């Protein structure tokens, strides 16, 4: 099976896990990235990208009514793009930063796009509800149940198509950019792995900025910092 097809199938399954209430959280970027890496034969690389993407949204809390970025599909996209493109470029370290930047950036955009699509879907699925209600009124509750379960197919297909399209197009795009730009000029971008986690710290700080918890945040910071200094 083609690696892109395999990753698309994995990602669409994770999209179903995320959008139904199975809620085992294997679709979170940190585990989604690892699983994508596993499918592509490089679990360590997949885990690295998934964890990096996760760190960006570490203090992200799903608040009801708020537009929710589609992190699982984004993470699988980013991981697959990084692994496949970097492999396609022969693993040349000069391109690592560039590939990392574009993979993460496209992953963020896919997450945002997914959030917008699902906002629209929640409006449109009202019609599905009225259809189900009409079925019940006509004495066919089984059809209403079938309509409810059929939405799983939508989640699966959405994830599958997005991944198939974005990974195929994104990979060609990054390869084209990489070959047209000299790798050496973008080499410092590989240090993104050092700076990106600060985004997550900002979100975490805001999350724990309450009377009861900010003390423990400070305590954790100080204790760990002293530990790192002592340990060298």
Stretch touching other proteins by CB under 8 A, among 6-14, 76-84, 176-184, 192-200? 192-200
Contacts of other proteins in 75-104 (CB under 8 A): 97, 101, 104
Residue 55 CA: distances (Å) to CA of 28, 29, 48, 59, 100: 11, 9, 11, 8, 15
**Under rule CB under 8 A, residue 177 binds other proteins:** no
Q: Which of 5, 93, 172, 216 binds other proteins (CB under 8 A)?
A: 216
Among 40, 80, 144, 166, binds other proteins (CB under 8 A): 144
Task: Extract the tokens encoding 191.
Answer: 């240090």
Rounded to the nearest whole angstrom, what is the least distance from the CB of residue 120 to other proteins in the complex?
10
Query: Using CA atoms, how far apart are residues 53 and 75, in angstroms rounded to an integer?
Result: 6
Smaller CB distance to other proteins: residue 2 or 211? 211
Asked if residue 58 binds other proteins (CB under 8 A), the reply is yes
* SS3 of the chain: helix, strand, coil, percent, to 5: 80, 0, 20
Instruction: Show the tokens assigned to 22.
Output: 């199975």
Are 93 and 106 in contact by the 8 Å Cβ rule? The answer is no
Q: Is 196 in the site for other proteins (CB under 8 A)?
A: yes
Q: How many alpha carbons fall within 13 Å on the CB side of residue 160?
A: 11
Contact between 148 and other proteins per CB under 8 A? yes
Pick the binder of other proteins from 1, 2, 21, 180 (CB under 8 A): 21
């Amino acid at each position: 099976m083609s690696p892109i097809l395999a990753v698309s199938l994995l990602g669409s399954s994770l999209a179903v896990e995320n959008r139904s209430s199975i809620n085992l959280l294997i679709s979170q970027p940190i585990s989604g990235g690892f699983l994508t890496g596993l499918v592509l034969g490089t679990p360590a690389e997949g885990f690295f990208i998934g964890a990096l993407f996760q760190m960006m949204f570490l203090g992200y809390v799903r608040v009801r009514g708020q537009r929710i970025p589609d992190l699982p599909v984004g993470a699988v996209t980013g991981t697959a793009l990084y692994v496949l493109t970097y492999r396609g470029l022969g693993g040349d370290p000069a391109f690592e930063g560039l590939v990392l930047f574009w993979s993460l950036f496209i992953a963020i955009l896919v997450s945002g796009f997914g959030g917008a699509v699902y906002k629209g879907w929640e409006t449109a699925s009202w019609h599905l509800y009225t259809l189900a209600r009409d079925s019940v009124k006509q004495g066919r509750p089984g059809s209403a149940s079938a309509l409810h379960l059929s939405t799983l197919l939508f989640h699966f297909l959405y994830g599958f198509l997005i991944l198939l399209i974005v990974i195929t197009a994104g990979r060609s795009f990054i390869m084209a950019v990489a070959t047209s730009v000299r790798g050496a000029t973008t080499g410092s971008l590989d240090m993104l792995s050092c700076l990106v986690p600060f985004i997550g710290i900002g979100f975490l700080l805001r999350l724990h900025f309450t009377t009861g918890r900010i003390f423990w945040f400070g305590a954790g910071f100080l204790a760990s910092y002293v530990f790192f200094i002592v340990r060298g």
